[in-house]
Amino acid sequence: MKKVFISFIFVAFAILFSNNVNAQKYFVYDGDKFSVMLTCDNSNTKVEQVSFSFNGKWVKFTVVGVTDFESTNEGGFVYEVLDGKKQKYFIDYYRDNDNIIVTNEAGNGKWTLKKREE
């Protein structure tokens, strides 16, 4: 009986631990020219990584800044990211919308991407 109880406790902790490890959320937004994937932390409250899809491959961009608009009526965030060539892009994420708006720093590109169904 003691072995069964210990085995049950071990399995319960293993399941609990595996759920915490895999709790990161990935949100993908698709557009006509490219896609963007936002990877959130375990509590799903902070974007930790931003990746763009080019030619079927995900390329990580560096997050260099975040502006928090959660206290406003619209809510959400603006993420500033750099690609490998140090070109800056802004990702407007609105909490209540199923899309993001990506613009480049030069102001000559603006794309609206729709959230992919999970």
Q: Could you report the per-residue pLDDT of 8-36, keeping only the tens digit for each?
A: 454 445 555 444 455 568 899 999 999 99
Give the Cα separation of 118 and 111 in Å (integer).
21
* Predicted pLDDT of residue 62: 94
Q: How confident is the model over 90-106, as pLDDT tens digits?
A: 999 887 788 999 999 98
Give the Cα separation of 16 and 49 in Å (integer).
25
Q: Which of 42, 47, 23, 41 is nearest to 100 (CA)?
A: 47
Token pair listed for 98: 């199923």
DSSP string computed for 4-70: HHHHHHHHHHHHHHHHHHT---EEEEE-SS-EEEEEE-TTSSSEEEEEEEETTEEEEEEEEEEEE-T
